[in-house]
Structure 1
């Protein structure tokens, strides 16, 4: 019995993702030329970047559209147990320390505000401008009509403010990779991230906790993958 439990635990999507995902510093150049980047960092100050990537067999997301996958990943990222403590702090007023707002971004009329993880949709993405827990704003989303390696789907969540000394953005992206002869189709999931000091052209305060950020990013990513795989 103990052996069976151990095997089941070792095969959990969360732990498998922690082992199989790859962390590196460069991000896709188009992310740093996006409208989200311009909202968060309008003065083009120095940025720090990183990403977490994992390749999955297409069978792992069988029957799901790109939007379904990004919605599930968003739910796992913001509604999973790893984000739990941060979610609690934000809900009791922590968002007042670093609210999410951008002077160049006009919030659409259909945007919503989410305070409970159960309200994060798992089948579709929220409208642009929607806010999660006071500190994250959906700045942009794109769903490819014919998903491919050249046409990937993504959603951007900005945090912080261009009027503060700390801000940044998370991009969740899914790329349908080309099928190799005789091999199963694959998809690539990515968590792309940049952070900056919008007020002064110098690194953000987050650089003092670089090691913690690495561990936290990997764990949040794994929670997102877990929700996609165990839908």
Structure 2
């Protein structure tokens, strides 16, 4: 337990490696932009800003972990780590009033919970759909591949075409923010894709696993860019740092 706590709140080598090794792009999968989460947050399909931070690691680094455990560990570092700490305090105090996460067409599940403390974020399982984190992040959707599905994918090569199809070869969890009744809304999608080993000696090593943090934001009320587009540099630094904190929780577990 102590090791898991330190993997979130104290910068370690995995954090700094991720800062340098992760890639940042201004594109996300078509799967996210046609998802139920996208339609909840952006029902009028207004213009969006989007980006993705990703990192590919050897499968041996997450050996023994299911897709859901990978997503949960990353979530615990993303929302429960030192990078997000100040924001979580502010959102606990003011988020419900000034930046609530709610969508007109979305209905939370009966077992949804409210999380206000970082220590309450599970690191081995995902929260139920409809759960609310720090008043401002709503778990809208999730899909974690079963062990049988994972084994099937691991025994086959995943082509670039399949990867482009998004969740067909991936497990994911969507955390929505903002409201379709306000001028700001969007989603963070954490995605896990297991890449089958190549025939160049990689097969004995178990292949690779790609972690993506996909993000979109919009103005649901007016068909124009959201205010966040004016802060691209700050967003780049913050997104890379949040991603690195998630990777640290995953790799330094």
Q: 1:202 is matched with which residue: 206, 218, 224?
A: 224
Residue 54 (structure 2) aligns with: 53
Q: In 2, are the aligned partners of 1:10 and 1:16 still within 8 Å (CA)?
A: no
Residue 209 (structure 2) aligns with: 187
Q: In 1, are the aligned partners of 2:12 and 2:248 still within 8 Å (CA)?
A: no
In 1, distance between residues paired with 2:217 and 2:37? 12
In 2, distance between residues paired with 1:85 and 1:143? 30
The Cα shift of 1:11 comes to: 7.4
TM-score for both structures, normalised by structure 2: 0.86
What secondary structure is seen at the aligned counterpart in 1 of 2:30? coil
In 1, distance between residues paired with 2:57 and 2:97? 38
Mapping 1:13-92, distance limit 5 Å: 13-92=14-93
Q: In 1, are the aligned partners of 2:115 and 2:134 still within 8 Å (CA)?
A: yes
Q: In 1, are the aligned partners of 2:48 and 2:225 still within 8 Å (CA)?
A: yes
TM-score for both structures, normalised by structure 1: 0.94
What secondary structure is seen at the aligned counterpart in 1 of 2:87? helix
Mapping 1:1-231, distance limit 5 Å: 12-145=13-146, 146-147=149-150, 148=153, 149=158, 150-181=168-199, 182-183=201-202, 184=205, 185-231=207-253
Superposition RMSD on alpha carbons, in Å? 1.4
In 2, distance between residues paired with 1:89 and 1:192? 24
Q: In 1, are the aligned partners of 2:14 and 2:248 still within 8 Å (CA)?
A: yes
What secondary structure is seen at the aligned counterpart in 2 of 1:93? helix
Greater fraction of residues in helix: 2
Structure 1: runs of 5 or more not aligned: 1-8
In 1, distance between residues paired with 2:12 and 2:230? 34
Structure 2: runs of 5 or more not aligned: 1-9, 159-167
The Cα shift of 1:108 comes to: 1.3
In 2, distance between residues paired with 1:10 and 1:130? 28
Residue 5 (structure 1) aligns with: none
In 2, distance between residues paired with 1:86 and 1:66? 27
In 2, distance between residues paired with 1:192 and 1:77? 13
The Cα shift of 1:95 comes to: 3.6
Q: In 2, are the aligned partners of 1:23 and 1:52 still within 8 Å (CA)?
A: yes
In 2, distance between residues paired with 1:209 and 1:95? 23
The Cα shift of 1:151 comes to: 2.1
